Amino acid sequence: MVKLALAFILGLTFMSSANAQQQKSFFAMQPCDVAEKMSKTVKKYNEEPLFTSLGVQFDSNQQASPVRSDMIFFVNQDTGTWSLISVYTDGMACMIASGRDFKPYSATTDKPGEKG
């Protein structure tokens, strides 16, 4: 019985380390400017706010401490371009990501991580 319990614990330890190796973490450069100028950038693409949210990011310079901000997702529904902007309390804003081929999500046809 003890051998079975030990084997079970070792198996869980191996599975935990395998899962930890699959986690992704990376450092990204994000263009930042005062919020007014950043909003002009998305207006060049005729993107309009689709939704807002409170967000948390982890600052690599401060040992992964959380930084809260307002997130605004902009989209041009005619061209499919989109931008995700983070606006901080000091008036600065950073472009977290931008892209193309925006379309509404469909749980029956789209799968996360796959191009539809």
Per residue in 21-63, pLDDT tens? 566 666 777 889 999 898 888 999 999 999 999 988 877 665 6
Give domain status of residue 41, yes or no.
Answer: yes
Q: Return the sign of the alpha-carbon dihedral for residues 81, 25, 55, 106.
A: positive
Beta bridge mates, 32: 94
Structural domain boundaries enclosing 58: 29-99
Give domain status of residue 110, yes or no.
Answer: no
Give domain status of residue 12, yes or no.
Answer: no
Mean of all residue pLDDT scores within the chain: 77
What DSSP state is assigned to residue 62? Answer: G
How many structural domains compose the chain? Answer: 1
pTM over 0.85: no
